[in-house]
């Protein structure tokens, strides 16, 4: 809100309580969405590993204009449709090593809470019903409207005249927004009873209602991608603060968007990527995660997918592969010296306070979540440590410091420097076909398959047992 770096202090002095606007479950999340979710995860991990317990709530948007539209088009019930995409989201999150939020409430399951909030807003004079049975928030009734997105008063006076039914709109149409939308034919079976007639809640209301239910009137921090500043978060503040009379969140944490090859990611531009697609191209979730944390959250991150000839070579992911292998190599060397084969668990690391040579890298995270600086300092520390001169005890200490910052970044290290990732099934199928071709002494085919595997970023090495797949350096 202030655009300044300030200390984070939990309101209750014990636990840092924060809310993240979650995914709209109407399709696969794209890698831009995951920039936001991954950095929110690094934020939580950094809090926890610095000794401050966190309480993380992230909702599921499973009823809005888009989920209703696309579930109808697919011929499935809203619940079936959104359950499917929720499960897919969870699978991607697990692969990307995101900690599950402590609570993941869904909008559909909180319709009564939303209705109660509308009633309260109407009683307090902040909302009105329209002739068709919709209810709108009266923007002019809330004095602080526009504070977060810094809309000036002129824009407000000029804009806040009509009422808008759509969930999403631009700053130039500041207007009364829908809290409750009267039932329309195209909504199909997706309507609920309310004191104002049949209909469904507007999108902005769900977060206010769920924040109130699970975090109370005031909590520590609220987060989302930068596109949510206006109108979504502005509207959330107006709803919540008009009801409670208290500040909704002490801090707002907004993530700048991911760009692809310098432009906005969109299906029509052909630069829309999901984790699945990148895995099919031979990359691991850890490699994507590395790329997503490689820029500071307030800077745009340009994901380079294509080379100068327009070929999809994913140089950023190849760079991440090398970096992860360097980290894995260090782990192998320091682990051997420390003489403890097991990797420290997250719980062990929560108790670790000593960062050893990696302390300054961890401090980069504590200072405005500077992930690129943290990564840079990790590599500087690795270079400065002369492992062969360390005693096993000192090696164990350095190793714990290293893992503490790696865990805060949420990077899963490849098991050895070479096995950076399990090969995706397509690559394994090609390798199986190559083995069959070799067994049949069809050398031309086996060479062709080796080249195809190589073009997808993998190297197949023949071993006594058969073959081994390694990501290419």
* Range list of H helices, 198-305: 203-215, 234-244, 275-280, 285-292
Q: How many of the chain's residues bind ligand AMP (CB under 6 A)?
A: 16
For residue 202, state whether it binds ligand AMP (rule: CB under 6 A). Answer: no
Binding mask 212-231 for ligand AMP (x = CB under 6 A): ------------xx-xx---
Name which position in 255, 320, 323, 324 contacts ligand AMP (CB under 6 A): 255
Closest CA to 345 of 419, 403, 285: 403
What part of residues 17-56 is at the interface with ligand AMP (CB under 6 A)? 21, 23-24, 32-33, 35-36
417 binds, among Zn ion, ligand AMP, none (CB under 5 to 8 A by kind): none
- Closer CB to ligand AMP, 33 or 114, in the complex: 33
207 binds, among Zn ion, ligand AMP, none (CB under 5 to 8 A by kind): Zn ion
Beta bridge partners of 163: 176
33 binds, among ligand AMP, Zn ion, none (CB under 5 to 8 A by kind): ligand AMP
Of the CA atoms within 13 Å of residue 197, those in its CB half-sphere come to: 12
Name which position in 16, 18, 21, 334 contacts Zn ion (CB under 5 A): 21
Q: How far is CA 127 from CA 18, 110, 164, 424, in A?
A: 27, 20, 13, 53
- Closer CB to ligand AMP, 38 or 54, in the complex: 38
Q: How far is CA 256 from CA 227, 329, 376, 387, in A?
A: 8, 32, 21, 39
23 binds, among Zn ion, ligand AMP, none (CB under 5 to 8 A by kind): ligand AMP
State the minimum distance, in angstroms, from the CB of residue 429 to Zn ion.
Answer: 41
- Closer CB to ligand AMP, 59 or 114, in the complex: 59
Name which position in 54, 265, 281, 320 contacts ligand AMP (CB under 6 A): 265
φ and ψ at residue 51, rounded to 5 degrees: 105, 5
Closest CA to 19 of 54, 45, 49: 54
Rg for the chain, CA atoms, rounded: 25
* Contact residues for 220 (Cβ-Cβ < 8 A; gap 6+): 8, 10, 11, 16, 17, 18, 249, 250, 251
Binding segment toward Zn ion, per CB under 5 A, in 99-107, 201-209, 263-271, 464-472: 201-209
Q: Using CA atoms, how far apart are residues 284 and 193, in angstroms rounded to an integer?
A: 46
Q: Using CA atoms, how far apart are residues 331 and 414, in angstroms rounded to an integer?
A: 10
- CA dihedral for 261, 42, 367, 323, sign (positive or negative): negative
State the minimum distance, in angstroms, from the CB of residue 258 to ligand AMP.
Answer: 4
255 binds, among ligand AMP, Zn ion, none (CB under 5 to 8 A by kind): ligand AMP
Strands 219-225 and 249-255: parallel
What part of residues 311-370 is at the interface with Zn ion (CB under 5 A)? none
Name which position in 84, 119, 257, 472 contacts ligand AMP (CB under 6 A): 257
258 binds, among ligand AMP, Zn ion, none (CB under 5 to 8 A by kind): ligand AMP
- Closer CB to ligand AMP, 23 or 335, in the complex: 23
Q: Using CA atoms, how far apart are residues 58 and 141, in angstroms rounded to an integer?
A: 29
For residue 207, state whether it binds Zn ion (rule: CB under 5 A). Answer: yes
Residues in contact with ligand AMP by CB under 6 A are 21, 23-24, 32-33, 35-36, 61, 224-225, 227-228, 255, 257-258, 265
């Amino acid at each position: 809100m202030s655009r300044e770096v300030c200390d984070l202090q939990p309101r209750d002095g014990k636990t840092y309580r924060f809310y993240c606007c979650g995914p709209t479950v109407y399709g696969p999340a794209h890698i831009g969405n995951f920039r936001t979710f991954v950095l929110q995860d690094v934020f939580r991990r950094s809090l926890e590993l610095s000794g401050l317990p966190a309480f993380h709530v992230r909702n599921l948007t499973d009823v809005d204009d888009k989920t209703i539209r696309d579930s109808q088009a697919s011929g499935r019930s809203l619940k079936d449709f959104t359950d499917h995409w929720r499960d897919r989201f969870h699978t991607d999150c697990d692969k990307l090593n995101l900690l599950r939020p402590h609570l993941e409430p869904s909008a559909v399951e909180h319709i009564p809470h939303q209705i109660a909030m509308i009633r309260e807003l109407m009683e307090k004079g902040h909302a009105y019903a329209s002739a068709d049975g919709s209810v709108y928030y009266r923007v002019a009734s809330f004095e602080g409207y526009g504070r977060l997105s810094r809309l000036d008063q002129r824009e407000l006076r000029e804009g806040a005249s009509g009422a808008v039914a759509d969930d999403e709109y631009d700053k130039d149409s500041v207007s009364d927004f829908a809290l409750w939308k009267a039932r329309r034919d195209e909504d199909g079976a997706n309507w609920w009873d309310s004191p104002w007639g049949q209909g469904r809640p507007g999108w902005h209301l769900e977060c206010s209602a769920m924040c109130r239910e699970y975090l109370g009137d005031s909590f520590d921090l609220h987060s989302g991608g930068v596109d949510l500043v206006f109108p979504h978060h502005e509207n959330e503040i107006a709803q919540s603060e008009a009801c409670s009379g208290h500040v909704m969140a002490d801090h707002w944490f907004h993530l700048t968007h991911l760009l692809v090859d310098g432009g906005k990611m969109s299906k029509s531009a052909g630069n829309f990527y999901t984790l699945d697609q990148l895995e099919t191209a031979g990359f691991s979730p850890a490699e994507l995660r590395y790329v997503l944390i490689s820029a500071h959250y307030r800077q745009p991150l340009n994901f380079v997918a294509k080379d100068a000839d327009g070929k999809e070579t994913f140089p950023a992911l190849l760079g991440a592969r090398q970096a992860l292998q360097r980290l894995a190599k260090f782990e192998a060397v320091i682990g051997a010296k420390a003489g403890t084969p097991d990797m420290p668990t997250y719980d062990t690391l929560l108790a670790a306070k000593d960062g050893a040579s990696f302390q300054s890298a961890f401090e980069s995270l504590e200072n405005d979540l500077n992930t690129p600086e943290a990564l840079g300092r990790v590599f500087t520390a690795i270079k400065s440590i002369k492992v062969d001169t360390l005693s096993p005890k000192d090696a164990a200490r350095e190793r714990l410091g290293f893992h503490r910052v790696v865990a805060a970044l949420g990077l899963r290290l490849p098991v050895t420097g070479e096995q950076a990732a399990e090969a995706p099934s397509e690559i394994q199928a090609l390798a199986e076909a190559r083995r069959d071709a070799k067994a049949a002494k069809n050398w031309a085919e086996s060479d062709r398959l080796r080249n195809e595997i190589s073009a997808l970023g993998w190297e197949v090495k023949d071993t006594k047992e058969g073959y081994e797949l390694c990501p290419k350096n």
